[in-house]
């Protein structure tokens, strides 16, 4: 299969680099067939990042979700001074959160499987950030529904 590709690409001056080319099969089988190029076989990998999403060979989305939430949390930490600011209105803080942090967290979420664990993970992240914006601590005994009501948000 790759022989024909190599021949065609060589005619226009292109070469397949074994060092730069990786392969991943999304399958339940543990030993995929090797893909050969002129220099040898292409290395198989378990996961890679494509357009910011982590793709795993077993099709699991946990790594992608954890990466997304880590990126969103890092952005939220960098905007800590915005949350603590007394000069910015609550609406501006919420708009910044919605446009930067929430959108980063749920980017490509339409491609994720929807399980109770994943939904809970997203909701915990969302509630934690909304509570920080509102200045609510765990000592205040405010329910999640009250937090969503005060902010006009819904579950992620």
pLDDT value for 29: 65
Give yes or no: residues 108 and 67 share one domain: yes
pLDDT value for 13: 87
Give yes or no: residues 106 and 130 share one domain: yes
User: Is 6 a domain residue?
Assistant: yes
Number of domains the chain is built from: 2
DSSP letter for each residue of 107-140: TTGGGS---HHHHHHHHHHHHHHHHHHHT--GGG
Give yes or no: residues 35 and 76 share one domain: no
Structural domain containing residue 32: 2-45
Give yes or no: residues 74 and 133 share one domain: yes
pLDDT in tens, 63-93: 889 999 999 999 999 999 988 888 999 999 9
Q: Where are the beta strands (DSSP E) in 24-142?
A: 36-37, 40-41, 43-44, 47-50, 53-56
Give yes or no: residues 76 and 115 share one domain: yes
User: Is 106 a domain residue?
Assistant: yes
pLDDT value for 28: 66
pLDDT in tens, 37-63: 777 888 888 888 888 888 887 778 888
User: Is 52 a domain residue?
Assistant: no
């Amino acid at each position: 299969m790759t022989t024909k590709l190599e021949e065609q690409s060589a005619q226009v001056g292109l070469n397949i680099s074994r060092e730069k080319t990786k392969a991943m099969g999304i399958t339940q089988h543990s030993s995929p067939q090797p893909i050969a190029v002129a220099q040898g076989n292409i290395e198989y990998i378990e996961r890679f990042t494509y357009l910011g999403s982590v793709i795993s060979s077993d099709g699991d989305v946990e790594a992608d979700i954890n990466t997304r939430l880590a990126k969103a949390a890092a952005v939220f930490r960098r905007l800590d001074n915005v949350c603590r600011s007394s000069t910015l209105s609550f609406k501006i803080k919420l708009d910044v959160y919605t446009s930067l942090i929430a959108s980063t967290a749920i980017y490509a979420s339409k491609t994720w499987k929807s399980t109770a664990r994943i939904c809970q993970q997203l909701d915990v992240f969302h509630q934690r950030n909304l509570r920080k914006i509102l200045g609510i601590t765990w000592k205040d005994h405010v329910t999640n529904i009250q937090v969503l009501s005060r902010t006009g948000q819904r579950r992620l």
